[in-house]
Structure 1
Amino acid sequence: MISVSMCFDSTDPRQIEAANEAVAYALSRDVLVVGGAGNEGDKGGKCYPAASPGALGVGAVKNDGFIWEGSNPGDFVSLAAPGTHIVSASGSGNEYRSGTGTSDATAYVAAAAALLRSKFPDLTAGQIANRLVKTAALPDAEKGLSLPDKRYGYGIIQPLAALKEDIPAGSNYGPLTVPESLKEKSAAPAIGMSDEEQARADRKAIIAWTVIGVGGLAVIGLIVLLIAKRSRRNSNQTGAPGGRAGYPQYAQQPFPPQHNPYQQQVSPHQNPYQHPTPPHSQWPPQQ
């Protein structure tokens, strides 16, 4: 689990690409990245790495459950968590501080995800996010919102419900946006698969395609042999040299072209490692 409290709002394509690649790499290793949405409110833009495909963007709510005014809105916000007047270690000496911001909210979501990972070690990063999303809630006054909302995402995390409720595991990536580099299985190790398992799967694929190639060559050789035998048989029956004795020789007439039943159109084999883009689906929370 990675919790990123740092946030940068950049228009530099190189910085954005670097953040996106880092999140994609983490997700390919089955690591969930949780990032703060930013603290500029409506004046803020997309905050990275929270806005990177594959990350879980987090907004901040006040003690009454309503969104904190400084929390950046956007389509990259997936969840919300408490983010005002949060007491934590100050980092200098033995002092404590009271802080406000989406960074504090991010720490709550990362902690809840770590608890889920401890209880459900077989779930992928996306399936952990799925449990958080499916059990998220909204304040009563906001329950008519269309989800995901640009401020709340799918709602405020409910860690106890996420730990206890019976929720189907769902797909590997859950509600996370799949990075482009991970949409093809060959672009990165399969999620949840170790390097050794990936190497074993690659060896099996090589063996399978080798067998298919050898089988294809054998079929082609058989077709060529049958065609040659058919040609010799037709030649012998017309009285050509080597034909049957006692048969009169006739002037040979040109034969019309015949359809060769042994010539087949062989379609290329489908790549078993090429999969379609996992469909993006809504993940409304269960109340």
Structure 2
Amino acid sequence: MSFTRTLRAVGGAVVAGALLFGTAPVASADQIRHEQWPLRSFGADDVWKVSTGKGVIVAVIDDPVDGSHPDLKGNVLPGKSFLDGGTADRPDGKNEHGTAMASLIAGHGHGPGGSDGVKGLAPDAKILPVGIDLGDKEESYAEPLRYAVDHGAKIVNMSFEDFGDTSPAEKAAVDYARKHDVLMVAASGNSGSSIPRLPSAAPGVLAVGAVDIDLKVWKFSNYGSYIKLLAPGLHIRSAGVETPYRLANGTSDSAAYVSAAAALLRSKFPDLTAGQIANRLVKTAGLPDDMKGKKLPDPHYGYGFIRPSKALTANIPAGSKNGPLPALSEDSSKASGSGKDAEKATQSDAGMSTGVVIGIVGGVVGLLVVVLIIVLVVKKKSGRNGPPPGSSGGPSGPGGPGSFVPQPPAPGPYQQQPSAPGAYPQAPPTHPPGR
């Protein structure tokens, strides 16, 4: 049994004519860097004196990444495309969402001193691209997530939203990542909705919303009790595929910046757990003056917007291994094994496998045959000798004591919801347009 899934990128892009290479008039490379306002907001030049993300692998589960882009070349590992089974370090046609996210995380610019083009917040981190189909089709992020964990990722960026419920296989994959000390970061979505979107709302995943240049929550950023952090998500300049650069709005970009901040921290504090890294981000997050003193996490602000410089330098106790994330239950740990356990978890996504159903049916038929033989033997003896004194004779009816009435496996189709639109950077948009 399979279930229809809808995965959708949660970032929208627009070709901003005069601002892109290849259009007229042509923007200068230093203009592209100047338009990366989040780097100025973060104080990136000071941040990079402390950490650049060196030695950390960040998986990007998304469209395949263009590893030949001048601002990414050398920072993208081969990875794997779950679309065709090949590597994921080459662009997938016109789809550029994965390339954009990778550039916000680990872009290094180009030209003298890397001063031109797009630079990521963790320019020395490595990107492990894990290609999936973000369109409407039967899709699951369970196997891609396990692949990322098994191939060295310490952070996994998931800038997409899943319109459906978490399948058993996906829950097991999230638990598997947590058991292996991998921090998962996901975008909350761009529909201004309180309906939880997955994987951001899955327990143990760091859910991220978007703020604008004034550090106010974007009105289309999804909200709810599961939101943990905010990061820049409006008018975000990133690498493209059809054109060298793109401009976008969305919580996709916000999640990428949180993943990059986590890479900076994992590079500087390699002995901290994933939960303790999340703890540093949460404990140093900022809030507008009118939010200070309010109970946190707030449904819209979470614990606040990330401040990477403070997260890297503040004196913060390590705290519990889970930090702000829920504890991983013992049952979840057992369900998150690899190998055959992973195969069983994946099978559970589609209900009982054919082999299991055949086995159950065969067992029931065998049991009924044995019961029938016993009944015939007893009846034959009863015909010869009569019932024993005081007995009423006759076997139990169906469902009586000691009987077994097989029940069919309960179906578990996902409850689909309408696709949420993405967002383009026209200001101010009256509604969130499509991807």
Q: Choose which of 285, 300, 311 in structure 2 pairs with 1:151.
A: 300
Residues 237-275 of structure 1: CA deviation (Å, up to 9, x unaligned):
xxxxxxxxxxxxxxxxxxxxxxxxxxxxxxxxxxxxxxx
Q: Note if 1:27 corresponds to 2:172.
A: no
Residue number in structure 1 paired with 2:252: 103
Q: Note if 1:49 corresponds to 2:199.
A: yes
Q: Note if 1:74 corresponds to 2:224.
A: yes
Give the Å deviation of 1:101. 0.7
Contact kept? 2:276, 2:321, Cα under 8 Å: yes
Give the Å deviation of 1:9. 2.7
Residues 60-117 of structure 1: CA deviation (Å, up to 9, x unaligned):
0111111001111011111111110110012335x21111111000011000000000
Q: Using a 3 Å threshold, how does the CA distance of structure 1 residues 116 and 182 change in structure 2: closer, same or farther?
A: farther
Give the AA of the match of 2:236: I
Give the Å deviation of 1:180. 3.5
What SS class does the counterpart of residue 177 from structure 2 fall into? helix
Q: Note if 1:162 corresponds to 2:311.
A: yes
Distance 1:66 1:33 in 2: 24
Distance 2:184 2:315 in 1: 24
Residue number in structure 2 paired with 1:5: 159
Residue number in structure 2 paired with 1:273: none
Q: Note if 1:178 corresponds to 2:332.
A: no
Give the Å deviation of 1:187. 6.2
Gaps of at least 5 residues in structure 1 are: 190-287
Residue number in structure 1 paired with 2:421: none
5 Å-filtered alignment, 1:188-199, equals none
Give the Å deviation of 1:47. 1.1
Give the structure with the larger helix fraction: 1
Compute the TM-score of the two structures, normalised by the length of structure 1. 0.60
Give the Å deviation of 1:8. 1.2
Alignment RMSD (CA, Å) = 1.8
What SS class does the counterpart of residue 59 from structure 1 fall into? strand
Give the Å deviation of 1:145. 2.8
Contact kept? 1:24, 1:181, Cα under 8 Å: no
Residues 15-65 of structure 1: CA deviation (Å, up to 9, x unaligned):
4433322211111110000000111103x5111111111110001011111
Distance 2:331 2:255 in 1: 25
Q: Note if 1:140 corresponds to 2:289.
A: yes
Distance 1:138 1:126 in 2: 21
What SS class does the counterpart of residue 270 from structure 2 fall into? coil
Gaps of at least 5 residues in structure 2 are: 1-154, 338-435
Give the AA of the match of 1:27: R
What SS class does the counterpart of residue 112 from structure 1 fall into? helix
Q: Using a 3 Å threshold, how does the CA distance of structure 1 residues 182 and 63 change in structure 2: closer, same or farther?
A: farther
Distance 1:121 1:135 in 2: 19
Distance 2:257 2:175 in 1: 22
Residue number in structure 1 paired with 2:277: 128
What SS class does the counterpart of residue 198 from structure 2 fall into? coil
Q: How many residues align?
A: 183
Contact kept? 1:9, 1:45, Cα under 8 Å: no
Distance 2:252 2:319 in 1: 28
Give the AA of the match of 1:135: T
Q: Choose which of 4, 13, 17 in structure 1 pairs with 2:168.
A: 17
Distance 2:221 2:313 in 1: 29
Contact kept? 1:19, 1:52, Cα under 8 Å: no
Larger radius of gyration: 1
Give the AA of the match of 2:232: P
Contact kept? 2:208, 2:230, Cα under 8 Å: yes
Contact kept? 1:78, 1:154, Cα under 8 Å: yes
Contact kept? 1:53, 1:178, Cα under 8 Å: no
% identical equivalent positions = 52
Give the Å deviation of 1:143. 1.8
Contact kept? 1:85, 1:99, Cα under 8 Å: yes
Give the structure with the larger strand fraction: 2
Give the AA of the match of 2:180: R
Q: Using a 3 Å threshold, how does the CA distance of structure 1 residues 181 and 85 change in structure 2: closer, same or farther?
A: farther
Give the AA of the match of 1:69: K
Give the Å deviation of 1:188. 6.0
Q: Choose which of 167, 174, 191 in structure 2 pairs with 1:40.
A: 191
Give the Å deviation of 1:137. 0.9
